[in-house]
């Protein structure tokens, strides 16, 4: 079984379950923090909880409705073996595309007058008060989150859409959905373009691992740069420059 062969019913249940689980997790967290906690939780706990809720909402439906039900397991979502040189090419492609994405982001923000402040940096920056916090953030945001998001948006949605609507429509629609869930208007275009890049990498490599590697490297570089900006004053566009 390949991602294009995943039944539409499984895709629908994954989508509905992910939305439901995220809403349930966010609702329970709000009730606990607003009514049951003796004092406001640390911002770090709030942010980490949000990422954990996201990963759980994406991964559990994929496991129960796809990986557990098919003999290929997670390979049905694209987690296929690949070669090191293919992963290296994916990272080079990300490196080449990054300046173009940055230029498009600046033009998009200027066109819509969105400002040059990235709210995600403000939120995540609260985490990064030391090397240990950076290590935890890299593990969660640089490793676990990319695996969950790539499995859901490229392995499931892009794979299924490509099989029914063709490659261009699959790339565009899955990238639009990927962008939409990131909420903040200032990052909508760059996240969409990253989604396009990751989908193309997956389509060409026939494995999800190169896209996971590129996604993870992107998040990790941003975390390290943000850490340097927060703790050492290094200029970071969207944060202090």
| Long-range contacts of residues 171-174, Cβ cutoff 8 Å, at least 24 apart | 171/196, 171/199, 171/200, 171/203, 172/196, 174/199
* Cα distances (angstroms) measured from residue 114 to each of 62, 108, 111: 35, 8, 8
pLDDT in tens, 193-204: 999 999 999 999
Assigned domain for 48 exists: yes
Assigned domain for 200 exists: yes
Report whether pLDDT(19) > 70.
yes
Which helix (H) or strand (E) segment holds residue 27: the answer is helix 8-31
Q: Which residue range is the domain that position 132 belongs to?
A: 3-232
Assigned domain for 17 exists: yes
Report whether pLDDT(85) > 90.
yes
Report whether pLDDT(54) > 90.
yes
Report whether pLDDT(3) > 60.
no
Assigned domain for 241 exists: no
Assigned domain for 238 exists: no
Assigned domain for 239 exists: no
Cβ distance 82 to 212 under 8 Å? no
Q: Which residues contact 227 (CB under 8 A, 6 or more apart)?
A: 128, 134
The widest CA-to-CA distance across the chain, in whole angstroms, is 53
Of all residues in the chain, the percent with pLDDT exceeding 90 is 59
pLDDT score, position 105: 84
Q: What's the predicted TM-score (pTM) here?
A: 0.92
For 56-75, what is the mean pLDDT? 90
For 209-237, what is the mean pLDDT? 92
Q: How confident is the model at residue 176 (pLDDT cuts 50, 70, 90)?
A: very high
Distance CA 190, CA 186 (A): 8
Number of domains in the chain: 1
Residues in the chain: 241
pLDDT in tens, 116-162: 777 888 888 877 888 888 998 999 999 999 999 999 999 999 999 99
Assigned domain for 94 exists: yes
Assigned domain for 237 exists: no
For 52-70, what is the mean pLDDT? 93
> Which residue in the block uniquely carries the two structure tokens 């073996």?
81
């Amino acid at each position: 079984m390949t991602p294009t062969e995943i039944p539409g019913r499984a895709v629908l249940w994954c989508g509905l379950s992910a939305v439901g689980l995220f809403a349930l997790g966010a609702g329970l967290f709000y009730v606990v923090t607003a009514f049951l906690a003796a004092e406001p939780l640390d911002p770090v706990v709030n942010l980490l909880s949000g990422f954990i809720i996201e990963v759980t909402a994406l991964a559990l439906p994929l496991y129960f409705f796809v990986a557990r039900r098919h003999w290929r397991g997670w390979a049905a979502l694209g987690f296929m073996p690949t070669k090191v040189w293919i992963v290296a090419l994916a990272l080079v492609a990300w490196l080449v595309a990054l300046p173009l994405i940055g230029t498009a982001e600046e033009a998009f923000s200027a066109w819509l007058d969105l400002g040059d402040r990235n709210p995600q940096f403000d939120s995540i920056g609260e985490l990064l008060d030391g090397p240990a916090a950076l290590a935890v953030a890299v593990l969660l945001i640089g490793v676990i989150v990319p695996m969950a998001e790539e499995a859901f948006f490229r392995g499931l949605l892009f794979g299924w859409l490509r099989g029914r609507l063709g490659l261009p429509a699959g790339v565009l629609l899955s990238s639009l959905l990927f962008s939409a869930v990131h909420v903040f208007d200032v990052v909508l275009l760059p996240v969409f373009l990253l989604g396009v890049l990751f989908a193309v990498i997956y389509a060409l490599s026939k494995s999800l691992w190169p896209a996971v590697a590129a996604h993870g490297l992107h998040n990790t570089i941003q975390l390290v740069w943000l850490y340097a900006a927060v703790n050492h004053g290094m200029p970071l566009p969207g944060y202090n420059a």
